Structure 1
Amino acid sequence: MKSFIVFATTILVVNALTDLDHWHSFKAKHLKVYKNIVEEKQRFNIFQTNLRIIEEHNIKYNQGSTGYYMGVNAFSDLTPEEFRTIFLRKQVFKPDAEKNIKYATSHLRVPESVDWRDHGAVTEVKNQGNCVSGWAFSSTGALEGQYKILNNISVSLSEQQLIDCSTVYDNEGCSGGLIKLAFKYLRDNGLQAEADYPYIGQDGQCQYVESKLVVPMLFTTVLIEELNENALVHGIASLGPVSLFINAEGIQNYAGGVYDDSEKCDNSKDSLNHGVLAVGYNITGNYFIIKNSWGESWGENGYIRMVKGVNICGISLVGSVPIIV
């Protein structure tokens, strides 16, 4: 109840401010600079449209008709079409000729809730910038989790190595990629630490150095593909953080709560367009805990809780976990 009162108070304060007040605050917080007054006016008009969407939605949230609320974030000067074009890419999932381990849903009982952040198996939230590299952040996130579980050491791994070097495995760097192709690359080449191969958020030349590997070559991948949410729950509980693809079109303005708006995002496999990391679930609360790569200022400090039971945004269609051997 206390958090609801705080949020309601915040909404009242927000509504008391003018659009121009919000605009100046938005530009300062997200370091927005526009090339000329014409562009700034255009962005301000889009920002105002997004403000109205946010305000109207949050009225529904306060009335209890939706489980999540919206807020201003770094994407608030973009139209939905621009947001999709810049940050999302639909994936083409081709049949895999290789033999992969399929993870079948276990009949064993699972804990009521799991959050791998509580076990140090999830690194800090990162920011992919304008590079369409959610697939790389999802891949490294799952591998970071496995490395912590196996070695009890937390290390931030290099997304930039995947962007630069896994193109030979048919990934497309900042134009998009597939998690399973990233894992194939890593299986054959290993991965360096973020500190040794830092993120620049754009395509670059492969600078892989074998002597600096943190995660060795040779691991297998457990697939949780086209099964159901039970399999995803069991995968998270028994294996660790799970790499996923979702349809992220409806979460541009997400700020908190349990996302439950199935009308805003398609849940079919051919609509999946963004890589994320499932780090936990809560059966009583009826949600999955998802780590994103849009920085800590988005969502719940970089995370989104997504409702269980309806395959929201295709959450249970394509998942995988890299197991270090």
Structure 2
Amino acid sequence: MTSLVMSRMTEYVPVLNDTDYLSRSILQTTELPNAFTWEEQNGINYLTKNLNQHIPSYCGSCWAHGSVSALADRIKIMRKAQFPDINLSVQFLLNCQFGGSCMGGDHLAAYKAIHDYGKIPFEDCMIYQACSSDSKEKACANTNDFICEPINICRTCDTFSSHGGKCVPINYYPNATISKFGAVKGADNMKTEILENGPIACGINAAEIDNYHGGVLDVPKAKKMINHIISIVGWGYDVNIDKQYWIIRNSWGSYWGELGFMRLVLGENQLGIEKTCAWAIPGSWTEYNVPCNEDGSNCT
């Protein structure tokens, strides 16, 4: 086993027992289309932007990226792709260790934490820094920047520090909420959830996908132990192999795979992809805010 794969073994660290949150019923297979993806419905792309968990430094935050990406997609679906997209703060989850840290975490626990806390800020409140307070990377040395304090949830800085500038917390900020969440497993259940509500976050064994260069991956004998979290945005059918496949969005940047995506044979639980999935239903999101001043003052 390579050191890379060994290091990733900690990226999925289960916090919750997902069997306690299973709630989806199976539709008959005949009711499910042969192919469906939120990448394109009637000429509209309902997916939000690609993410990269590995910059500006390495961070095992796939659990946060997979869950937050799927949640943001579902908001976009509910908003009927209205511009601009609402992107959510992954760094918020890391700073508050809501579901995990750069040392790994749990996508279902991330949804529970957002639900229980009551909201997650928009991304421009707290941009991704690939750090948590327990990270040993040099970029994360100032651990006070990565603890769950108001200034590390939403902040702004008013000018250059050489000119007396300072950074302050924003007390009122645009956010989104989760009304309910749960777990799902099994190909038909997963398809049903995706079709009805949008992308889901799922566990996978990443050993076979490090060097994925495109096409439908078919590795029935590969390991199924979960060590990485991705999101599934739909499924398709490959006539050449006469098999359906999952359409997967990763969080390794657009330079990886098929512009950040991959395809994996569906219905055989390859790489363990059909046994550890989570979903969340958006509750509300900010469409109009009472604006703060540029320096962060007058926020109510």
What's the TM-score, normalizing by structure 1?
0.67
- Matched with 2:65 is 137
- The Cα of 1:98 is off from its aligned counterpart by 9.9
Question: Structure 2 CA distance, aligned partners of 1:127 and 1:92?
Answer: 20
- The Cα of 1:83 is off from its aligned counterpart by 1.6
> Which letter does structure 2 place at the counterpart of 1:148?
K
Matching residue within 28, 36, 46 for 1:114? 36
Whether contact under 8 Å (1:143, 1:322) holds in the other structure is yes
- The Cα of 1:310 is off from its aligned counterpart by 1.4
Question: Structure 2 CA distance, aligned partners of 1:114 and 1:274?
Answer: 24
- Matched with 1:127 is 52
Runs of 5+ unmatched residues, structure 1: 1-79
Query: Secondary structure in 1 aligned to 2:202?
Result: strand
Aligned residues: 236
- The Cα of 1:293 is off from its aligned counterpart by 0.4
> Which letter does structure 1 place at the counterpart of 2:212?
Y
Query: Secondary structure in 1 aligned to 2:229?
Result: strand
% same residue: 27
* Cα distance per residue 1:81-111 (max 9 Å; x no partner): 1221344426454664996461111126122
* Cα distance per residue 1:219-251 (max 9 Å; x no partner): 1013203xx211112221122101101111111
> Which letter does structure 2 place at the counterpart of 1:220?
K
* Cα distance per residue 1:99-157 (max 9 Å; x no partner): 64611111261222111122432112111111001000011111111111222342221
Question: Structure 1 CA distance, aligned partners of 2:111 and 2:126?
Answer: 18
- Matched with 2:122 is 193
Query: Secondary structure in 2 aligned to 1:255?
Result: coil
Change (3 A) 1:279 1:101: same
Question: Structure 1 CA distance, aligned partners of 2:265 and 2:24?
Answer: 22
Whether contact under 8 Å (1:246, 1:274) holds in the other structure is yes
Change (3 A) 1:233 1:211: same
- Matched with 1:177 is 105
Whether contact under 8 Å (1:111, 1:237) holds in the other structure is no
Whether contact under 8 Å (1:136, 1:177) holds in the other structure is yes
What's the TM-score, normalizing by structure 2?
0.72
Runs of 5+ unmatched residues, structure 2: 133-145, 155-170, 284-300
Structure number having the greater helix percentage: 1
Change (3 A) 1:321 1:137: same
- Matched with 2:93 is 162
Question: Structure 1 CA distance, aligned partners of 2:18 and 2:278?
Answer: 16
Query: Secondary structure in 2 aligned to 1:128?
Result: coil
Change (3 A) 1:184 1:213: farther
Question: Structure 1 CA distance, aligned partners of 2:19 and 2:223?
Answer: 29
- The ranges of structure 1 where at least 4 consecutive aligned residues each deviate by more than 6 angstroms after the TM superposition are none
* Cα distance per residue 1:60-101 (max 9 Å; x no partner): xxxxxxxxxxxxxxxxxxxx6122134442645466499646
Change (3 A) 1:85 1:99: closer
- The Cα of 1:262 is off from its aligned counterpart by 2.9
> Which letter does structure 2 place at the counterpart of 1:128?
Q
- Matched with 1:205 is 147
